[in-house]
Structure 1
Amino acid sequence: MKWTSLNPRWTNWQGKRVWVVGASSGIGAALARNLLRRGASVALSARRIDALQAVAADLPTAWIVPLDVTDPAAWDASHRTLRQEWEAIDLIVFCAAEYRPLRPWDIRADQVRKTVEVNLNSVYYGLEVVLPGLLSQQSGGIAVIASIAGYLGLPNATVYGPTKAALINLAELLYTELHAKGLGVYLINPGFVKTRLTAANSFPMPALQTPEAAAEAIVDGLARGRFEIDFPKRFTRLLKFASLLPYRLRLAALQRVTGIS
């Protein structure tokens, strides 16, 4: 049996129209710069216009489209702006994320609401506006940045982890529903990446990567047509193995590794 790519391969970015949502910093900013250098036309979206301007500096094919991802009406307005200029979108990348280290006994409703809105609900808002066009053209792709935090119930990720687990589930069902309709769906599960979000962590972060290295891994995965793009492998493979253990072993291992008893 010959194995083939689960998704279309993105090997030539010249002229491709890519909407990177959450492009003001971290992985989103690094990915936008990477794709712009490869010749793609990239729309950069986030709330912080000054940060988007910094990302777009000296990159003439960058296009700043401010967007509050938690506002469904803003999604509709931004999408209409893009369609007027581009007519169609080839790839949308959902990068927006909210994270705060949180233990169960520190749960606060306002923080829960914000994290769920940014990490999960915003993806649904975006899908509502982009899917009709992608289905009509029967081509293009959807890339969702989740996290290895979605593999297991990890400490400090009381809200963040469940939202990322939901995105993993969502990407799987999107692939099942949309692959036959000509669309690619790409699930991106990074390990620890040095960003303003992970700067809040007070614990050692194994295999910590730069945003630029993360962007390169994503582009490589897209070029290979992978469904799941996870990195760095030396870390993600360990967590995947742990996720396959029976709960008695898995939970004991988590307590031992994290020092929680």
Structure 2
Amino acid sequence: MFSSLNTPIADWGAQRVWLIGASSGIGAALAKQMLNAGAEVVISARRLPQLQQVAADYQKAHIVPLDVSDQAAWAAAYAQVVHRIGTPDLVVFCAADYRPERSWEVNVSQAESTLRINLLSAYAAIEQVLPAMLARGTGGVALIASVAGYLGLPNASVYGPSKAALINLAEILYSDLHPKGLNVYLINPGFVKTGLTAKNTFAMPALQTPQQAAMAIWQGISAGEFEIHFPRRFTRWLKLLQLMPYRLRFALFERYLKIS
């Protein structure tokens, strides 16, 4: 048996978590999952009323509002996090934006906004949290990417590349940080029923609820997994597609995804 790539977490009651992008969807469900497991959790997002709803029933929930696209706001937000709970043991980056669009529909201003939220703000989070974690020699960073980053799929002309970049970044972070005692988690969900996927007009295979997604993420982090992908009955097929020659892959896309 291979050992876990990260250190498993047995006692969530001892964990201090900063969860970024927690006002709805996967982030909100994951915050509640970790709070129910006993963790002390700071939740951040732009929408204060939604954060208050997530935190309402939990004494160990803390709210630090943050617009992840505002680069100047990160240092102050992190200072508030440290003031509330100390240096986090785990930082989970959940913030995301999505517009279904084909390549001929791309607008550079909208693309810049999506990339700023999905990718550049992940760098802002890393810049804030890594120095203290490295000085302490413990801690963990989790990036929520997507199976849309596995392959160049239609209707994801900006979203897909942003998630592919997060997958690449998580691999780099693991190589850099694991030898220094830090954990890195790459989370690749399939389709999850959220406000973002509600924009899709096609049938989404193996669609899961945010609660199912949160449980899969929590179990994966608890077990010390590096890549946490789900539901596996769907994600394994996409991993198989990754291995196919382009000629075969594109032929399958044309036949089954109705590319025109």
Give the TM bin, normalised by the shorter chain: over 0.9
Matched residues in 1 for 2:31 and 2:170: separation?
21
Amino acid at match of 2:42: A
Q: Which residue of 1 aligns with 2:119?
A: 120
Q: 1:84 Cα deviation (Å)?
A: 2.2
CA distance in 1, matches of 2:157, 2:237: 21
In structure 1, the residue matched to 2:161 is: 162
Task: Report 1:182-193 matches (<5 A).
Answer: 182-193=181-192
d(CA) in 1 for partners of 2:80 and 2:55? 18
Distance 1:86 1:61 in 2: 10
* 1:12-161 map, 5 Å: 12-161=11-160
Structure 2 contact 45–67 (Cα < 8 Å) conserved:
yes
Corresponding position of 1:10: 9
Q: How many angstroms apart in 2 are the aligned matches of 1:257 and 1:24?
A: 35
Contact 2:32 2:54 in 1 (8 A): yes
1:35 counterpart letter in structure 2: M
The aligned runs of 1:197-212 (5 Å cut-off) are 197-212=196-211
The answer for unaligned runs of 5 or more in structure 1 is none
Are residue 220 (structure 1) and residue 238 (structure 2) matched?
no
> Identity across aligned pairs (percent)?
58
Deviations 1:193-230 (A, max 9, x none): 00000000000000000000000000111121110000
SS at match of 2:74: helix
Q: Distance in 1 between matches of 2:64 and 2:42?
A: 6
- Matched-pair contact (CA < 8 Å) for 2:40–2:85: no
Offset of 1:31 from its aligned partner?
Answer: 0.2
Q: Give 3-state SS (helix, strand or coil) of 2:12's partner.
A: coil
Q: Give how far 1:86 is off.
A: 2.3
Rounded Cα–Cα distance in structure 1 between residues aligned with 2:11 and 2:192: 26
1: CA distance between counterparts of 2:202 and 2:9? 36
Would the aligned equivalents of 2:62 and 2:84 in 1 still touch at CA under 8 Å?
no
What amino acid maps onto 2:129 in structure 1?
V
TM-superposed CA distance for 1:81, in Å, is 1.2
TM-score (structure 1 length as normaliser): 0.98
Q: What is the root-mean-square deviation in Å for CA atoms of aligned residues?
A: 0.8
Question: What displacement does 1:46 show?
Answer: 0.2
Question: Which residue identity does 1:187 align to in structure 2?
Answer: L
Q: Structure 2: how far apart are the matches of 1:160 and 1:41?
A: 31
**Structure 1: which 4+ aligned runs deviate by more than 3 Å?**
none
Return the offset for 1:72: 1.9
User: SS of 2:76's equivalent?
Assistant: helix
* Length, aligned pairs only: 260
Measured after TM superposition, the shift of residue 58 of structure 1 is: 1.0
**For residue 219 of structure 2, what is the amino acid of its counterpart?**
D
Cα deviation 1:207-260 (Å, max 9, x = unaligned): 000000000000111121110000000000000000110111111111212011
SS in 2 for 1:112: helix
1:215 & 1:224 partners in 2: Cα distance?
Answer: 14
Could you state the TM-score of these two structures normalised by the residue count of structure 2?
0.98
The amino acid across from 1:86 in the alignment is I
- The more displaced of 69-78 and 16-25 is 69-78
Shift of the alpha carbon at 1:77?
0.3
